[in-house]
């Protein structure tokens, strides 16, 4: 079995991680709550999948550090997607003059 590491990030902020083992030619479906995308203003999120070496099977505990993950795991795939803002913000601007002078 080969260890894999699944990660969702907003820029460098890790929002969700999961580690699992897979046999060759096997499939795995991942589900996670939408609450892991707690990005109020929306933005581009990155989903990354890494494959680890066989020596990592004895590793215990989560690896949430992106630097550590990049040193221990080989990138297998990446997906970028845009998450809309949690709510729409309405902004109204009114001026106190008809025209403004530069300076």
Predicted confidence (pLDDT) per residue in 51-100, tens digit: 886 555 555 555 556 666 566 778 888 999 888 876 666 778 787 878 77
Residue 99 domain flag: no
Residue 57 belongs to some domain of the structure: yes
Is 22 a member of any domain? Answer: yes
- Can you give the pLDDT at residue 83? 83
Check residue 66 and give its pLDDT.
Answer: 60
Q: Which two tokens stand for residue 95?
A: 């001026």
Tally of structural domains, the chain: 1
Per-residue confidence (pLDDT) for residue 80, from 0 to 100: 92
Q: Is residue 94 part of a domain?
A: no
Domain that holds residue 31: 2-83
Give the pLDDT confidence of 9-57 residue by residue, as tens digits.
988 888 888 888 888 888 888 887 777 777 777 889 999 988 886 555 5
Give the span between the Cα atoms of 24 and 68, in whole angstroms: 25
DSSP string, the chain: -EEEEEEEEETTEEEEEEEEEE-TT--------GGG---TT-EEEEEEEEEE-GGGGG--S----HHHHHHHEEEEEEEEEEEPPSS--------SSS-----
Give a yes or no: residue 6 inside a domain: yes
Which one, of 16, 21, 20, 26, lies nearest residue 1 by Cα? 21
């Amino acid at each position: 079995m080969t260890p894999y590491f699944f990660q969702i990030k907003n820029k460098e902020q890790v929002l969700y991680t999961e580690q699992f083992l897979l046999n060759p030619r096997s499939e795995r479906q991942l589900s996670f709550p939408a609450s892991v995308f707690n990005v109020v203003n929306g933005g581009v999120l990155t989903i990354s999948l890494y494959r680890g070496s066989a020596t990592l099977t004895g590793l215990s505990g989560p690896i949430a550090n992106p630097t550590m993950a990049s040193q221990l795991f080989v990138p297998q795939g990446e997906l970028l997607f845009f998450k809309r803002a949690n709510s729409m913000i309405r902004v109204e601007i009114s001026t106190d003059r008809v025209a403004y002078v530069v300076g």
